[in-house]
Structure 1
Amino acid sequence: MTLPYTTPSKNTLSPSGGQPGSQKLRSLLVAAVLPLLAWQAQAQAQATQRFPSEKGEIVVTELLTGLDHPWSIAFLPDDAGALITEKSGDLRLWKNDAGLSEPISGVPDVYARSQGGLLDVVLAPDFAQNRRVYLSYAEKGDDGKAGTAVGYGVLSADGRKLENFTVIFRQTPKLSNGAHFGSRLVFDRQGYLFIALGENNQRSTSQDLDKLQGKLVRLHPDGRVPDDNPFVGNAQARPEIWSYGHRNQQGAALNPSTGKLWTHEHGARGGDEINIPEAGKNYGWPLATHGVDYSGSAIPEAKGAHVDGTEQPIHYWKVSPAISGMAFYDARRYPAWQQSLFIGALKDKALIRLELDGDKVVHEERLLGPLNDRIRDVRVGPDGYVYVLTDASRGRLLKIGLKE
């Protein structure tokens, strides 16, 4: 930094012949500025951290802090920023050059209790034409219990309002006292909307086809039920259901290699698992599980890890990391990460990288452990970096890449 300096005149000399007045000013400025520069250098060093990994040195940059338990992020097209949900009920717009917006108006009221609140956010496939933003959230019922709801609104051109919010789905009956809402939203390549739900901590409901707990649901973008859903025409089943026997699904993503939807769900004490849900199939909970109850006892309804009539996960953890968020890496920026699946871990406070061979998980690596952050959501940005949200009262948005 260049400080101002003028050539001293006789009038600036002290009576004792000491330093000119301008030099005294210069000394004062140096004394004031140097600590500021040192603080800035320290802040920059703290904002970017480096860690070793199997694929090279990882560079982690903090982009944002102070979020209230952020849950999900969705990148807007044309480098227009990203929408971020906070579990307490706020939707915000973040831009790298402008920072974090005030809460966007027009968001529905949410049941912000325990695991409930404002949850996932995704853009409509044709967002460029209609600017529709889809939200999932916990919604309170008349009896005080809650369930997951999904709806959409139109994001205003200035990004300050979500207009004409319309609810297109409600999980019924409402059974949650604050636990296991799920939920993730994914549009497939045909434009169908999948909603990955939790079972409200009511285990047996996952097997009840007349209820929407513990189910993967498939809808048209306006909430209509597709005619080819597997239980359409079954008077004993809800037509929205695509698959069932799920516990608490907090990750869902399309595999870019196959176009198939992958989901993952929390087990209890052990048994977190990844599935590729197929139409009409039963994924086991609570009859089939690789885990036990939080007390250490067997799940009362469980009949073993393998039960006839139920599907096995493609991957599971005997000890639960408490997984949340999921993103396939198919960007060109880092070829070393191709064929990787990134998943956040809440309890284990890590970013999990799974190497894939087709539909098989062949290797696991844990990243970001030194940060000691609960990872809630994971997305691959349009720039090829991996972005994660940390679950805390002062949650952070982190950008992750390999040293180039």
Structure 2
Amino acid sequence: MLGKRLGRLAAGAIVGAALLVAPGAAESAPPEEFERLLVVGGLEEPTSFRFTPDGDVLIAEKNGAIQLLHDGELHDHPLIELATAGSDERGLLGMELDPDFALNGYVYVGYTASDNLDRLSRFTMTGHEIDPDSELVLIQSQQNANVFHHSGSVKFGPDGKLYWTLGMNTNNQNPPNLGNVHGKMHRINADGSIPADNPFVDTPGAEPSVWAYGLRNSFRWDFVPSGPNAGSVLAGDVGGSEWEELNLVERGANYGWPHVEGCATTARTRSRCMPTRTRRRPRARARSPRSRCTRAGCSGSSTRTRCSSRTTRSGS
């Protein structure tokens, strides 16, 4: 029951966000079948949550704690408190449970460790505890973590592989460079080994875990559940000063940062946002609240704008 109610809550939050950007619809109420409720309070900067097979909820907090919601009540102490460099945009940002969690208790987390290095690790949960000594580091950066742009989402795909996004670490040289882990989406096996069909396994100097690159800070994403793109990753990418992107992430594709932001409509930049064999343009885009809306096809104020279908659609 709790899982169903939380699912409705999440769906309601998505619809609510959509209403905020639709002109004239900001005052509209959510559909009658949606229910808004407080599931748990007293959390400190929650960043992710996952349901266990028995209906409990694991909740990751940015400061490194993983809390347990059991029978509708917050457990009296965290399952684990990871030592993190948690200031600014660093910290515990993503969490996933193994598909065989009921058997192995594996919990995967993307976080900035106390040594100030971003890493993707696996821990083992037994009962209502996660053993700190069970950590298995699967991917780790070799760059000191800057204060911004660390993405963090972690999910298993329909193919059984583990995916993780890591932001560009406030360094524009990182996303197009296959020799580092930043500004990328990664794909590995559950034990940290590299799938043989990853696109850059045989590329000299490339990180073999890279699935796609040229991303700025792809913080939230999910797998398309149905339709022609079922199983593909649909990812939001935080823009710089002008555009926010929604990308259909494909194997080996380059999403252009820092050379492309959104899909510009001017003659000077149009050629840069057309797709090539390796570079993809966004499926959708939205004006960043930080910029002025001055190009053709946009309407609204600088803090709430939308683009017409003529400029936002990416074509077939």
How far is 1:307 from its partner? Answer: 6.9
Q: Residue in 2 aligned with 1:371?
A: none
When residues 218 and 320 of structure 1 are mapped into structure 2, their CA distance, relative to the original with a 3 A threshold, is farther
1:310 aligns with 2:279: yes
Q: Which amino acid aligns with 1:150?
A: L
Whether contact under 8 Å (1:189, 1:259) holds in the other structure is yes
How many percent identity over aligned positions? 27
SS of equivalent to 2:246: strand
Letter in 1 for 2:248: I
- Report the counterpart of residue 248 of structure 1 in structure 2: 217
Q: Residue 245 of structure 1 aligns to which amino acid in structure 2?
A: G
CA distance in 1 between partners of 2:67 and 2:141 (Å) = 29
Contact persistence 1:147–1:181 (CA under 8 A)? no
Q: Do residues 69 (structure 1) and 45 (structure 2) align?
A: yes
Q: Give the corresponding residue for 1:283.
A: 255
What is the TM-score when the length of structure 1 is the normalising length? 0.59
Map 1:25-40 to 2 at 5 A.
none
- Shift in Å, 1:205: 0.9
Post-superposition shift, 1:133?
Answer: 0.9
> What is the CA-CA distance between 1:303 and the residue it aligns to?
8.6
Q: Matched residue of 1:129: which SS? A: helix
Residue pair 2:262, 2:281 contacting (<8 A) in 1 also = no
1:190 to partner: Cα distance? 2.2
Q: How far off its partner does 1:97 sit?
A: 3.2
Structure 2 unmatched runs, 5+: 1-15, 17-26, 265-269, 291-302, 305-312
> Scaled by the length of structure 2, what TM-score is found?
0.74
Deviates more, 1:123-132 or 1:88-97: 88-97
| 1:319 equivalent in structure 2 | 288
Superposition RMSD in Å: 2.9
Going from structure 1 to structure 2, the CA distance change for 1:54 and 1:306 (only over 3 Å counts) comes to: farther
Q: Say yes or no: does 1:270 pair with 2:246.
A: no
Give the structure 1 partner of residue 68 of structure 2: 93
Equivalent residues of 2:232, 2:250 under 8 A apart: no
* Other structure's SS at 1:247 match: coil
Q: 1:82 to 1:154 in 2, by over 3 A?
A: same
Match runs of 1:7-46 below 5 Å: none
Choose the corresponding residue for 1:192, options 128, 143, 161.
161
More strand by share: 1
2:97 counterpart of 1:150: no
1:261 and 2:236 aligned: no
Aligned to 1:22: none
Aligned to 1:231: 200
Number of residues of Structure 1 aligned to a counterpart in Structure 2: 261
Task: Specify which of 116, 126, 137 is matched with residue 100 of structure 2.
Answer: 126
Does the 8 Å CA contact 1:148/1:171 hold for their aligned counterparts? Answer: yes
Equivalent position of 2:307 in the other structure: none
Paired residues of 2:96 and 2:107 also in contact (CA < 8 A): yes
- Look up the match of 2:178: 209
Tell me the equivalent position of 1:295: none
Letter in 2 for 1:149: R
Q: Which has the larger radius of gyration?
A: 1
Q: Distance in 1 between matches of 2:39 and 2:193?
A: 39
Q: What is the SS of the residue equivalent to 1:119?
A: strand
Partner of 1:29: none
Give the 3 Å change call, closer, same or farther, for CA 150–113 of structure 1 in structure 2: same
Give the 3 Å change call, closer, same or farther, for CA 264–218 of structure 1 in structure 2. Answer: same
Q: For residues 175 and 249 of structure 2, what CA distance do their matches in structure 1 show?
A: 14
Match of 1:130, as an amino acid? Answer: N
Runs (5+) with no aligned partner, structure 1: 1-49, 293-301, 322-347, 350-359, 362-404
